[in-house]
Amino acid sequence: MHSMLYKMFLFLTFSLVSACVSQNTNPYNTDSALTNQARAHTELGAAYLKESKFEIALEEFNIAIRNDPDYPLAYNGIGLVYSSLGENAKADAAFQKALQLNPNSSESHNNYGNFLCKTGQYEESIKHFLDAVNNPLYETPHLAYANAGICSIRKKDFINAERYLIASLQLQPLMHPAAYHLANIQFNRGDAKSAKTTLQNTLLVAPSPEVLWLGIKIERVLGDKDNEASYAIQLRKQYPNAAETQLLLNSQH
Alpha-carbon distance 51 to 218, whole Å?
Answer: 36
Contact 45, 77 (CB under 8 A): yes
Write the Ramachandran bin of 223: left for phi over 0, alpha for psi from -120 to 50, otherwise beta. left
Nearest to 42 by CA among 90, 107, 139: 107
Domains of the chain, each with CATH number or no CATH: 2-23+32-139 (1.25.40.10), 207-253 (no CATH)
Total residue length of the chain: 253
pLDDT tens, position by position, 219-251? 999 999 999 999 999 999 999 999 999 999 999
Residues of the chain with pLDDT under 50: 1-3, 5-25, 27-28
What's the confidence (pLDDT) of residue 210?
Answer: 96
**Alpha-carbon distances of 23 from 93, 105, 122, 138, 223, rounded to whole Å:** 24, 12, 28, 10, 48
pLDDT of residue 15: 45
User: What pLDDT is attached to residue 248?
Assistant: 94
* Predicted pLDDT at 31: 62
At 208 the pLDDT is 95
pLDDT tens column, 41-72? 999 999 999 999 999 999 999 999 999 999 99
Q: How far is CA 164 from CA 44, 65, 169, 173, 174, in A?
A: 33, 35, 9, 13, 15
Q: So what's the pLDDT on residue 252? A: 82
Sign of CA dihedral 217, 220, 225, 227: negative
Pairwise CA distance, residues 202 & 44, whole Å:
33
pLDDT reported for residue 20: 43
Determine the Cα–Cα distance for residues 211 and 36; give it in Å rounded to an integer: 43
Burial of 155 from C-beta contacts in 10 A (0-12 / 13-18 / 19+)? middle
In this structure, are residues 21 and 39 in contact, taking their beta carbons and an 8 Å threshold?
Answer: yes
